[in-house]
A and B are shown apart, each in its own frame.
Chain A
Amino acid sequence: MIYREAGEFKASYREDMAILPIRQDRWFMWALMAVAFLVIPSIASEYWLGTIMLPFLILALAALGLNVLTGYAGQLSLGTGGFMATGAFAAYKLATAFPELHIIVVILLAGLITAGVGILFGIPSLRIKGFYLAVATLASQFFLIWMFNKFGWFTNYSSSGVISAPPMTAFGDFFVTGPHATPVAKYLFALTLVVFFAMMTKNLVRSNIGREWMAVRDMDIAAEIIGIKMLPTKLKAFAYSSFLCGIAGALWAFVHTGSVEPLAFDVNRSFQILFMIIIGGLGSIMGAFLGSAFIVLLPILLTNAPHLFGLNIPVDIISHIEFMVFGALILFFLIVEPHGLARLWQITKEKLRLWPFPY
Chain B
Amino acid sequence: MHERTLGDVVLEVRNISLSFGAMRVLNDISFDVRQGEIRSIIGPNGAGKSSMLNVINGFYHPQEGTITYRGETRHQMKVHKAAEQGIARTFQNIALFKGMTTLDNIMTGRNLKIKSNMLLQAIYWGKAQKEEIEHRKKVEEIIDFLEIQAIRKTPVGRLPYGMQKRVELGRALAAEPDILLLDEPMAGMNVEEKEDMSRFVLDINDEFGTTIILIEHDMGVVMDLSDRVVVLDYGLQLADGPPDEVRSNQAVIDAYLGVSH
Q: Which residues of A contact B (CB under 8 A)?
A: 12-14, 17, 200-201, 203-204, 206-212, 214-215, 217-219, 221-230, 236, 240, 283
| Total number of residue pairs linking A and B with CB closer than 8 Å | 104
Q: B88 contacts which of A203, A210, A226 (Cβ < 8 Å)? A: A226
Judge whether A229 and B123 touch: CB under 8 Å.
no
Judge whether B107 and A204 touch: CB under 8 Å.
no
Chain A min CB distance to B120 (Å): 9
The B interface is mostly helix, strand or loop, or mixed, namely helix
Decide if B64 is an interface residue (CB 8 Å cutoff). no
Chain B min CB distance to A288 (Å): 16
Judge whether A203 and B123 touch: CB under 8 Å.
yes
Size range of the chain B interface in the assembly: 35 or more
Q: A214-B104, A225-B59 are in contact. List 12 more A-B contacts (CB 8 A).
A: A13-B136, A17-B133, A206-B124, A207-B132, A208-B114, A209-B118, A215-B111, A218-B100, A219-B96, A226-B112, A227-B80, A229-B80
Complex-state Cα separation, A205 to B80, whole angstroms: 22
| A13, A203, A207: residue with the most chain B Cβ atoms closer than 10 Å | A207
Judge whether B129 and A14 touch: CB under 8 Å.
yes
Judge whether A222 and B96 touch: CB under 8 Å.
yes
9 closest pairs, A vs B, by CB?
A227-B83, A222-B95, A207-B121, A218-B97, A203-B124, A208-B114, A227-B112, A211-B108, A224-B79
Chain B min CB distance to A225 (Å): 6
Judge whether B80 and A219 touch: CB under 8 Å.
no
Would you mind naming 26 contact pairs between A and B with Cβ atoms under 8 Å apart?
A: A12-B133, A13-B133, A17-B132, A204-B118, A204-B122, A207-B122, A207-B124, A207-B128, A208-B121, A211-B104, A217-B97, A217-B99, A218-B99, A221-B59, A222-B96, A222-B97, A223-B108, A225-B89, A226-B83, A226-B111, A226-B112, A226-B171, A227-B111, A227-B112, A228-B80, A228-B108
Decide if B175 is an interface residue (CB 8 Å cutoff). yes
Decide if B82 is an interface residue (CB 8 Å cutoff). yes
Instruction: Mark contacts of B217-246 with chain A using CB atoms, 8 A cut-off: 1 yes-contact digit, 0 otherwise.
Output: 000000000000000000000000000000
Chain A min CB distance to B81 (Å): 8
Judge whether A219 and B111 touch: CB under 8 Å.
no
Decide if B199 is an interface residue (CB 8 Å cutoff). no
Complex-state Cα separation, A228 to B109, whole angstroms: 9
Judge whether B97 and A17 touch: CB under 8 Å.
no
Judge whether A218 and B98 touch: CB under 8 Å.
yes
Judge whether A224 and B111 touch: CB under 8 Å.
no
The residue of chain B having its C-beta at the shortest distance from the C-beta of A72 within the complex is: B99
